[in-house]
Amino acid sequence: MGKLYAELDERLRKFIARQPVFFVATAPGLGSNGSQGHVNVSPKGCQDTFAVVGPRTVAYLDLTGSGAETIAHVQQNGRITIMFCSFSHETKVVRLYGTGTVVLPGSPRWDELALHFPRTADRSAELRSQRAIIVVDLERIADSCGYAVPEMTLTGERDVLDRWASSKTASELAAYRAEKNSVSIDGLPGLEPARMR
């Protein structure tokens, strides 16, 4: 039986910390009634890229990808849902519903938020693929059973994105983001080319 929570208590925080992957869902509001446009669901991973910032606030490090749907949707309307799903013996799904904000490198909040991500706070070890931090103020925290979710074994993290980003210069990464991340598939603004370095 599912349950609603007033905040992220210690048990939920521990559950979230154990999950190696989470999913982010957003949608644009292109029609006059807020409909139309493509709903987006993105898998997120990479160790130490998700943080509980407060009892009702979370953040994750957004890494360079082939699109910028989440950033575009959050900038437009802020609506976002994050789902953690256990693939271990534990049968549990946790959904975090809220309003997101995009924080870009160089902005006033970046250094404060970066402290929640060890590889970002330590500039010598930072992920070259980082392009934003998505902060979410939570409006609803709920869990459900996950009885039908299969059990799977994690064999390891992928380093493909790290290796790809490490092979690029800062200018090459900026050029990639300008080409792939400046507009969503629905034509909404994503990352501004001038702020992609």
Average pLDDT score over the chain: 90
Number of H helices, E strands in the chain: 6, 8
Banded pLDDT at 194 (limits 50, 70, 90): low
Q: What is the pLDDT of residues 35-82, one digit of tens each?
A: 789 999 999 988 889 999 999 999 999 999 889 999 999 999 999 999
Whether residue 122 is predicted with pLDDT greater than 70 in this model: the reply is no
Q: pLDDT tens across 110-121, in order?
A: 999 999 998 766
CB 113 within 8 A of CB 133: yes
Q: What's the CA gap between 150 and 45, in Å, rounded?
A: 18
Tell me which residue range forms the domain holding 171: 3-147+155-195
Domain count, the chain: 1
The model's confidence at residue 197, banded by pLDDT at 50, 70 and 90, is: very low
The CATH number of the domain holding residue 36 is 2.30.110.10
- Asked if residue 138 lies in contact with residue 97, where contact means CB atoms within 8 angstroms, the answer is yes
pTM beyond 0.85: the answer is yes
What is the predicted pLDDT for the residue at 128? 78
- Say which DSSP state 1 is in: -
